[in-house]
Amino acid sequence: MGCVGVKCAPRIVSAMKATRLFISAACALLLSQCAMPEFPMFSSRTEMARRQMTIMPPLASQPVLYVWNGSSKPGPLSVNIDLSEQKAYLFKGGENVGWTYVASGRSGFSSPTGTFRIMEKIVDKRSNRYGMIVDSNGDVVNSNATAGVSRIPPGGHFVGAKMPYWMRITGYGVGMHAGPIPNPGSPASHGCIRLPRDMAETIFQHAPVGARVTIMQ
């Protein structure tokens, strides 16, 4: 026999509670099954990459080619070049204000020794003796040419090597200028004193025409 009215209320409440408990239990079960798995902070691939990065040897450091502390010092610059060290020492008012690696004349093209004066300064200078030969199409056919010696093909011509921040110290074509220092501490030029570009510009700015340049063996 069914219940009617108020008498059925306790049974309805009990049924609702049972239903709620059943739904809660079912949800808990589903959530436990759908939960995301726990991963370590790094995946195996990331961890492997990290370990590989750790054991890689460090890159070889680049050598220091120059030191300059003379911008705020008064007076003209003088330059002392030691060929045995392939270094130039820079002075203002008798005080050492920096040094730089140089590349002097290699075997067969030795740089002169003695005391000289800067005779001329040209920012954009090209050699009139050493350079390259290009053909009529503008292609380089000889990258280590000597003017008046190396053969020039029909329609071709000689192009002098660049010598930025040129500072002449002799009447026969020797000077200081920017150029490669391929192996710091070793000669490399045709007789001129090559300087790292930044230091060539610095010396050019601070050493006037007439500045003393001493070259010793």
The pLDDT tens digits of the residues spanning 91-142 come to 999 999 999 999 999 999 999 999 999 999 999 999 999 999 999 999 999 9
Domain spans of the chain, in order of start? 66-125+163-216
Confidence of residue 53 (pLDDT cuts 50, 70, 90): very low
CA-to-CA dists, residue 3 to 9, 14, 15, 17, angstroms: 9, 14, 14, 19
Confidence of residue 7 (pLDDT cuts 50, 70, 90): very low
The residue that leads in pLDDT, 14 or 173, is 173
Confidence of residue 24 (pLDDT cuts 50, 70, 90): low
Confidence of residue 35 (pLDDT cuts 50, 70, 90): very low
Q: What is the DSSP letter of 189?
A: B
**Residue 111 and residue 83 in contact, taking contact as beta carbons nearer than 8 Å:** yes
Whether the model clears a pTM of 0.85, i.e. scores above it, the answer is: no
The residue that leads in pLDDT, 161 or 2, is 161
Give every CB contact of residue 21 below 8 A, 6+ residues apart in sequence: none
Length of the chain (residues): 217
**Residue 213 and residue 203 in contact, taking contact as beta carbons nearer than 8 Å:** no
Confidence of residue 28 (pLDDT cuts 50, 70, 90): very low
Average pLDDT over residues 78-89: 99
Average pLDDT over residues 78-94: 98
CA-to-CA dists, residue 52 to 43, 44, 48, 57, 151, angstroms: 14, 12, 6, 10, 54
Q: Which residues of 136-195 form beta strands (DSSP E)? A: 140-146, 157-162, 166-168, 175-178, 193-195
Average pLDDT over residues 80-97: 98
Give every CB contact of residue 20 below 8 A, 6+ residues apart in sequence: none
Reply yes or no on whether the pLDDT at 44 is more than 70: no
Distance CA 102, CA 179 (A): 9
The residue that leads in pLDDT, 149 or 13, is 149
DSSP 23-56: HHHHHHHHHHHHPPPP--SS-HHHHHHHHHHHHS
End-to-end, the C-alpha distance of the chain in Å comes to 127
Classify the phi-psi angles of 69: left when phi > 0, otherwise alpha if psi is within -120 to 50, otherwise beta.
alpha
Q: Which of 55-64, 91-100, 184-193 has the lowest mean pLDDT?
A: 55-64
Average pLDDT over residues 28-57: 46
Fold for the domain defined by 66-125+163-216: L,D-transpeptidase catalytic domain-like (2.40.440)
Confidence of residue 10 (pLDDT cuts 50, 70, 90): very low
Average pLDDT over residues 24-38: 45
**Residue 179 and residue 192 in contact, taking contact as beta carbons nearer than 8 Å:** yes
Task: Look over the chain and give the mean of its residue pLDDT values, rounded to a whole number.
Answer: 83
The residue that leads in pLDDT, 71 or 39, is 71
